[in-house]
Each structure stands twice: as structure tokens, then as C-alpha cells.
Chain A
Amino acid sequence: MLIMIPQLVIGVADLAAAFLFMYGLQRMSSPATAPSGIFMAGIGMAAAVLASFLYVFSVSAAAQPHLPVNIGLTLAALVIGGGCAWWSGKKVAMTAMPQMVAVYNGMGGGAAGAIAAVELFGGKAQGITQLVVTLLGALIGAVSLSGSLIAWAKLDGVLNKPLRVKGQQICNAVVLLVTLGVGGIIAFAAAGGSAPLLTLPALIYLFFGCALVFGVLMTLPIGGADMPVVISIYNAFTGLAVGLEGFVLQNPALMIAGMVVGAAGMLLTLLMAKAMNRSVANVLLTNFGDTPKHIQGAIKGSLKPVEAGDAGIFIRYAKEVIIVPGYGLAVAQGQQKLYEFVKLLQAAGVTVKFAVHPVAGRMPGQMDVLLAEAGVPYDMIFQLEDINDEFANADVALVIGANDVVNPAARTDKSSPIFGMPILNADKAKKVYVVKRGQGKGYADIVNALFYGDNCDMVYGDAQAVLVKMIEAVRGLGAAAAA
């Protein structure tokens, strides 16, 4: 009877954890309830981790002599891994969040892969179903680990150019096939067949090596602006790997949590791909530069540069202003100055709204977090589908550091590579100001017809410097009036 108590406690704790994870994620449907949601999920996690120490009462006979060492190792790993990650998570800058999430995600994938490795090396996976599921989880987890690390390197600027060589897709396909082939031999050998050529441990090493290499190869050619899709997909991968290993370990909490995250990651992946008007396969397998060069239609009009101060004063006397922030704003670290400017406008009676495109940033929703960090209340931030009709009524659209997501060619020019991509209709505003570093093109390397429109003026310069000038100009007005 006594032996069942630990089992019961673990069962109840895991059940509670699975419930709290789903309830916590459900509470993320509003910014008001979301903080309590993650707290509840945290309680679930703590309960499950604490309860898992009761596994000491049911370790296998072979592991019994090693138990004290194993307990020490477990505690050390928890403290070191958890401590370092906690510390880095507290310290990381909000602009660096995508790479941080990529690292944590890779860690989860690596953990799932490592569990599979323990099962395989220890010969603990029994029967063909368990073996296949273990191997599948190992493959997905390992790909997620190495792929996430490459994504981190790209986002952090360690690798700053997509690496593309001819025949890359064929090479990737060969590596994947070899991995699957080795996996097949392992399953055959572990199920009692004789392993040809290599011993079982050597095959397992080879399997993990190939899987890790595949993750690297798969991620290397993908460009910076496609990162929202890549991060989402690896999130889904890790979830899937965790779910599969949960089945192997006969732990329903892992199965449920993993599969919930897998579905969530898949949904976000599809949303991001849709926001870029590309299929997931297109993002992963082809490169933006590869699309056939289209002949740019002749663009009427000219680029009309204006002074930042003049633009600021014009905006000050508008009634309704919509601001379109893009990744360029984050690069220039201009969010704080932007909100300072917005507060000045609000004090002068101007109605200000923020319009955020789904792919503004390097991961889904990053721009929303950056605005929130600068102090912008979330009820001022609007998503594409909620605000697009309002541009027609706006006096001014202020585009800062965004380019392709406001290019009207996506609506009008059928030959454009971005045709069909949902865009923010900034061109429909009565007056458009575009704050831009220089005359360069956007990520898609397309001339933006918006910039040449009759209603559009260009303000060249670093976003932060431009905003400082705008603030000074508007403040100067107030001072002049008071004098």
C-alpha cells in the first residue's frame, strides 16, 4: 500500500499541472488576465517538478545503487540550468527577446532529444511502437535544438547573412533520408534484429548527429525577416517532441502539454505565413531572393523630403493620427521617444492610434511588446484588421521604420512579389509621413509606391533622432505660445 502513495501524488500533481497549463494559456486571451495565467501555469510546473522527486521510490533495480549520485545530479542540473536561464531571462533586453525565446525553445527540444537518448542507450524502449515514437521524438527534438541555435545566431547577428548554396534542397533531403534510414536500422536492431555494419550505440550517435546537422542545414538559408515563421515552427517542433517522449515515458502531463504547445506553434506558424502571403513550405524551402525578378512598373511622382520639425508641427495640428511602427523603429531604439512624442500630441488634443502589422518584428507580436515596454497602453495598439478602415479618416499616417508592410503594390500590382500580402493602408490617409534611414528598399527589395504618392513626404534620418527633432519642434510651439 505504501508504495502506491508516491504514485498517487505524482499522478495528482501531473493532472493538476496539465489542467493549470491549459487554464493558464486560456487566461492569456486578454492582457488583463494574462499575468495570472502564467502564474497558474507556473504553480502547475512547480507541483509537477516537486512531485517528480517521488520517482526515487520506484527506480529500477539496476539504478538503485546509483540513486544518491543521481539525486545529487538532478538537484545540480535543476539549480544550474534553472538559475542561469532565470538570470538571463530577467536581464535580457526586450529587443533581444526573439533570440532568447529561440534559445529556451532549443533547450526544450534538446531535453526531449536527451530523454530519447537515455531510453535508446539504456534499451528501455520496448516494442516497435515505442521505438518508433522514441526515434521520432528524438529526431524532432534534435532538429529543434540545432535549428533554434542557428535561429538564435541569426537573430543575434552572429550569422548575418542567409547561407545559400546550389543544390541545398537536395543536400537537405539526402541528410533527412539518411537520418530516417539510420532510425529505421536502430528500430530494427533494437527490436531484436541484427544491426548491419555498426554497433547499436554507434548507430544512435550517427542518428543524433544527422538529425542535428539537418536542423542546421534547414535553418541556414532562411532570411532574417522570415524568422517569425521559423521561431513558431520550432516552438511547435519542441512541443511535438515533448509530447512524443511523454508517450514513451507514459506520462500524460508531458503528452498533453507537448501537444497543446505543438498545436499552438502550428497555429502561429500558419498565421505568420499568412501575414506574409507565403506558404510555410515556401518560407522553409525557397528563398525570397529566388523569386523571378519582376519588372517594376514605372512609378509616377517623386520622393519629397521634408524637415523632421516641420512634419512634427503638421502632425501636432492634425485631429487623428495613426502611427505605423516597423522593425526599423526597434533597431533605432526609438520606442521611448515615440511615446514621448505621442503624449505631447495627446496633450494637444490629437487622437493617436498605433497600427501594428502581424510581422512587424522578428517574432509574432514583438512590436506590441516593444510598445508596451515603452509605456504605450495596450488599448492604443490596434491590429491590422481592426484599424485598416480607419486610415481613410486619418489626417496623418506616420510610418516609422516600416516599408513592405505599407506598400500599396501588395493590393494593386499583380506582378509584384508581395502581391496579395495583407498590408496596412497607410496610403489612404490624407497625409503620410515616412521616417526612414535612407532611400534604400525594404526586405523584399521592391520600390515602395507609397513613398512617391502625392500625399506622402519623406523624413530621412535615424528614427530616434527624427523623433527628438519632432518633440523639440512641438515643444517649441508651446513655448512660443506661452511667451
Chain B
Amino acid sequence: MDFAISISGFVALYVFMLAAFAGWVIIGHVPAILHTPLMSGSNFVHGIVVVGGIFALLNASTVLEQAIGFFAVLLGAGNAAGGYAVTRRMLAMFQTSGPRLKLVHAHAKARHPKHG
């Protein structure tokens, strides 16, 4: 058995086409209210480039390659970590009024026990 991956010519085009189509359909279902987290989230997803950077750096054999590879991993890691951090932060802010309204009512009752 061999697990080496070889993608060439038309196979690559098929992969690209299907991925682009999937992305288009998936993103098309995201409501406009989430467009900013979506953008930072998809930004995070292309942070996977760090894996390519690690591959390039581990296989570097000259100082120049090491320097550029280091740069690639540095930037890729920044892309991934930063994208994840801001997306998580933003998504945590989106709340429904359901539980919040209950809170307001409870608060109002506590403030006016006479009317209760």
C-alpha cells in the first residue's frame, strides 16, 4: 500500500471545481448578519497554508530557503491563530433576546415587588 498523494492535470481541476462550488453554495446560505464573522472565519480557514509552510521549512536546505520558510510559517501561523481568535470573539457576541428578555422581566419584578 502506498499513501502518497498525486494529483495532476484534470484531477486537480476537478478538485478545484468541486471545492469552489461547495464554497459558493455553503457561503450562499450564510445570512448577511454573519458576514463579518464569516469573512474572518474563512480567513482562518486559509490559514491552513501554515501546513504548507511547515512542509517547505522542514525541507529547506539553504539559509535562504530556511529564512523564507520561517517567514511562511510565521505568517501562516499568524493568519490561523488571529483569524480563529477574532472569529470566536465575534460569534460569542451574537445572542437572542429569548433569555435576555426573561432577565429583564425578573429584574423589573425585583424592583417593583409591590405590583407583583
Query: At the interface, yes or no: A251 with Cβ under 8 Å from chain B?
Result: yes
List CB contacts (< 8 Å) of B46-100 with chain A: 46-62, 64-66, 68-98, 100
Query: At the interface, yes or no: A256 with Cβ under 8 Å from chain B?
Result: yes
Q: How far is it, in angstroms, between the C-alpha of A265 and the C-alpha of B107 when the chains are bound?
A: 44
Query: Cβ of A82 and Cβ of B59 under 8 Å apart?
Result: no
Task: Enumerate chain A residues within 8 angstroms of B20, measured Cβ to Cβ.
Answer: 259-260, 262-263
Total residues of chain B contacting the partner, CB 8 A: 92
**Main SS of chain A's interface residues?**
helix
Query: Cβ of B35 and Cβ of A86 under 8 Å apart?
Result: no
User: 0/1 per residue, A243-272, Cβ < 8 Å to B?
Assistant: 101110111111111111111111110010
Task: Enumerate chain A residues within 8 angstroms of B78, measured Cβ to Cβ.
Answer: 81-82, 84-85, 104, 107
Given contacts A107-B75, A108-B76, A252-B7, A364 and B82 within 8 Å (CB-CB):
no
Query: Cβ of B3 and Cβ of A11 under 8 Å apart?
Result: yes
Task: Enumerate chain B residues within 8 angstroms of A112, measured Cβ to Cβ.
Answer: 49, 52
Query: Cβ of A242 and Cβ of B49 under 8 Å apart?
Result: yes
Query: At the interface, yes or no: B33 with Cβ under 8 Å from chain A?
Result: yes
User: 0/1 per residue, A104-133, Cβ < 8 Å to B?
Assistant: 110110111011011101101000010000
Task: Enumerate chain B residues within 8 angstroms of A30, measured Cβ to Cβ.
Answer: 31
Chain B CB within 10 Å, residue with most, of A4, A29, A107, A251: A107
- Picked from A121, A232, A378, the residue with its CB within 8 Å of the CB of B39 is A232
Q: How far is it, in angstroms, between the C-alpha of A383 and the C-alpha of B28 when the chains are bound?
A: 15
Stretch at the interface among A71-79, A214-222, A413-421: A71-79
Query: At the interface, yes or no: A391 with Cβ under 8 Å from chain B?
Result: no
- Picked from A8, A238, A266, the residue with its CB within 8 Å of the CB of B46 is A238
Query: At the interface, yes or no: A163 with Cβ under 8 Å from chain B?
Result: no
- Picked from A35, A104, A256, the residue with its CB within 8 Å of the CB of B43 is A104
Query: Cβ of B51 and Cβ of A34 under 8 Å apart?
Result: no
Q: How far is it, in angstroms, between the C-alpha of A104 and the C-alpha of B84 when the chains are bound?
A: 10
Task: Enumerate chain A residues within 8 angstroms of B57, measured Cβ to Cβ.
Answer: 70, 73-74, 77, 118
Given contacts A77-B70, A246-B52, A108 and B75 within 8 Å (CB-CB):
yes
Query: Cβ of A28 and Cβ of B58 under 8 Å apart?
Result: no
- Picked from B3, B40, B58, B76, the residue with its CB within 8 Å of the CB of A97 is B40
Query: Cβ of B26 and Cβ of A369 under 8 Å apart?
Result: no
Query: Cβ of B51 and Cβ of A259 under 8 Å apart?
Result: no
Q: How far is the CB of A289 from chain B (nearest CB, A)?
A: 27
- Nearest residue, chain A, Cβ from B24: A263
Q: How far is it, in angstroms, between the C-alpha of A47 and the C-alpha of B40 when the chains are bound?
A: 20
Q: How far is the CB of A253 from chain B (nearest CB, A)?
A: 6
Total residues of chain A contacting the partner, CB 8 A: 127
Task: Enumerate chain A residues within 8 angstroms of B113, measured Cβ to Cβ.
Answer: none
- Picked from A31, A71, A89, the residue with its CB within 8 Å of the CB of B89 is A89
Task: Enumerate chain B residues within 8 angstroms of A245, measured Cβ to Cβ.
Answer: 49, 52
Q: How far is the CB of A54 from chain B (nearest CB, A)?
A: 10
Query: Cβ of B27 and Cβ of A263 under 8 Å apart?
Result: yes
Task: Enumerate chain A residues within 8 angstroms of B95, measured Cβ to Cβ.
Answer: 372, 375, 377-378
Query: Cβ of A25 and Cβ of B46 under 8 Å apart?
Result: no
Query: At the interface, yes or no: A224 with Cβ under 8 Å from chain B?
Result: no
Query: Cβ of B86 and Cβ of A89 under 8 Å apart?
Result: yes
- Picked from B6, B23, B83, B86, the residue with its CB within 8 Å of the CB of A260 is B23
Task: Enumerate chain B residues within 8 angstroms of A55, measured Cβ to Cβ.
Answer: 54-55, 58-59
Query: Cβ of A114 and Cβ of B48 under 8 Å apart?
Result: no
Q: How far is it, in angstroms, between the C-alpha of A69 and the C-alpha of B40 when the chains are bound?
A: 33
Query: Cβ of B58 and Cβ of A377 under 8 Å apart?
Result: no
Query: Cβ of A115 and Cβ of B42 under 8 Å apart?
Result: no
Task: Enumerate chain B residues within 8 angstroms of A11, measured Cβ to Cβ.
Answer: 3, 5
Query: Cβ of A29 and Cβ of B81 under 8 Å apart?
Result: no
Query: Cβ of A42 and Cβ of B69 under 8 Å apart?
Result: no
Q: How far is the CB of B77 from chain A (nearest CB, A)?
A: 4
Query: Cβ of B85 and Cβ of A85 under 8 Å apart?
Result: yes
Query: At the interface, yes or no: A291 with Cβ under 8 Å from chain B?
Result: no
Query: At the interface, yes or no: A17 with Cβ under 8 Å from chain B?
Result: yes
Chain A CB within 10 Å, residue with most, of B7, B42, B60: B42
- Nearest residue, chain B, Cβ from A130: B8
User: 10 more A-B contacts (CB under 8 A) besides A37-B41, A258-B49?
Assistant: A34-B34, A38-B37, A63-B61, A77-B77, A78-B73, A97-B90, A108-B76, A257-B19, A260-B19, A264-B23
Complex A-B, nearest 3 residue pairs according to Cβ-Cβ distance, in ascending order: A365-B35, A89-B85, A85-B82
Task: Offer 29 A-B interface pairs, CB within 8 angstroms, sorted by A.
Answer: A7-B3, A28-B30, A29-B26, A34-B94, A45-B47, A49-B80, A59-B59, A69-B66, A73-B57, A74-B70, A82-B78, A86-B81, A97-B86, A107-B78, A111-B50, A111-B75, A115-B72, A121-B62, A235-B43, A239-B42, A247-B12, A258-B19, A258-B48, A260-B26, A365-B36, A365-B39, A373-B93, A377-B100, A380-B97
A-contacting residues of B (Cβ < 8 Å)? Answer: 1-9, 12, 15-16, 19-24, 26-62, 64-66, 68-98, 100, 104, 108
